[in-house]
Structure 1
């Protein structure tokens, strides 16, 4: 579990293919004594397991599923990556609940400056638009952000100077591709609406169902 608050912008040292999988090594300024082998770290929003560390580097194994669903397999040597260690019990939840499970890849369609901020537009597969709402949360390459506007084929966000300076978004341009994780709360609500109170896929929502599901 993560918050979407980036701790370090590292860089890719190596991406070694092995069949359909890969081993990714990144440079980082995060103290390595704070990370154990087997720990989870979000790399551009994808939850990966640390399999080796040392010399200012972290190494992760990436499965075929991860490479297919994210942009990690396209990263070249020196490419910047957003890094975040897993949330610890008692940490402040400054962003929002992020699982590190990427839903889809979006294309950057627009970048423009507005009063010192950067407004980005993204093209997305239409079936995912229902998980995005204006002023709701979204994770872009591991960064917790607030949605500005939503259409049937895309959405936009506003990036303040601090966020741009502390993440990979500062160098993002139209034509780039990013990992998107939508808010998990919307997925649970959709699931509850689809199955209703009987557990069968019939639709409908009630106060009783919300209570049984732990929302009340």
Structure 2
């Protein structure tokens, strides 16, 4: 579990191809990994990756074909910068929102506009995620917890503040860049509960007034 508050910007130092899947060597730069063990999770551009090996400058993670298919990692290259966050602890200050590290889809940056010291960003959201985004709701973009300022059909507008620009890869965002999107977990579960409730209400429960009366529910 993560918060979407980026701790450091790392970079990919090597990509090792193993048939269909890959192993990725990541330099963590200023991220302190002295407490990280094999099997621990580190969110890398919003994707929960398991540490399979520790190196003097970072860690190695294995990416399955499923991860490559569902995230922007399939287009990444050696030298690419990525946002890093270690898994949260029970004592961690909760500064962002609940982030699982399970990417829901890939978006595209379609417009960027500087506004003072901030950066306005417009991103297309896959159609199946449109129901999970709302004005002033939360969304995770490349591992970064952000607030949605406006929604236009399947396009969301975000405003990136100076601190976020200085401490994440979003400062180097470009038009047509693909980004990992994770919808707000609360919105996902709420939609699921509503969907199940609607399905159940349509079922024939065979409950009649006489049955309720027989068992003492009504008199």
- Match of 2:180, SS state, is strand
- Match of 2:34, SS state, is helix
Alpha-carbon distance in 1 for matches of 2:133, 2:126:
12
- Match of 1:113, SS state, is strand
Deviates further, 135-144 or 21-30: 21-30
- Match of 1:162, SS state, is helix
Shift of 1:201: 6.7
Shift of 1:79: 0.5
1:60 aligned onto 2:65? no
8 Å contact from structure 1 (residues 194, 202) kept in 2: no
**TM-score normalised by structure 2 residue count:** 0.89
1:148 aligned onto 2:149? yes
Alignment of structure 1 residues 99-110 onto 2, 5 Å: 99-110=100-111
Q: How many residues align?
A: 202
List gaps (5 residues or longer) in structure 2.
204-219
1:15 aligned partner: 15
8 Å contact from structure 1 (residues 5, 143) kept in 2: yes
Alignment of structure 1 residues 12-91 onto 2, 5 Å: 12-28=12-28, 29-91=30-92
- After superposition, the CA RMSD in angstroms is 1.5
Shift of 1:105: 0.4
Alpha-carbon distance in 2 for matches of 1:160, 1:202:
47
Q: Deviations over 1:43-70 (max 9, x none)?
A: 0000010001121121101111100011
Alignment of structure 1 residues 96-135 onto 2, 5 Å: 96-135=97-136
Structure 1 runs (4+) deviating above 6 angstroms are none
Shift of 1:34: 1.5
Larger radius of gyration: 2
Q: Tell me: CA distance 1:201–1:177, structure 2 relative to 1, closer, same or farther (3 Å).
A: farther
Alpha-carbon distance in 1 for matches of 2:187, 2:18:
36
2:211 aligned partner: none
Alpha-carbon distance in 2 for matches of 1:31, 1:132:
33
**TM-score normalised by structure 1 residue count:** 0.90
- Match of 1:196, SS state, is helix
- Match of 2:88, SS state, is coil
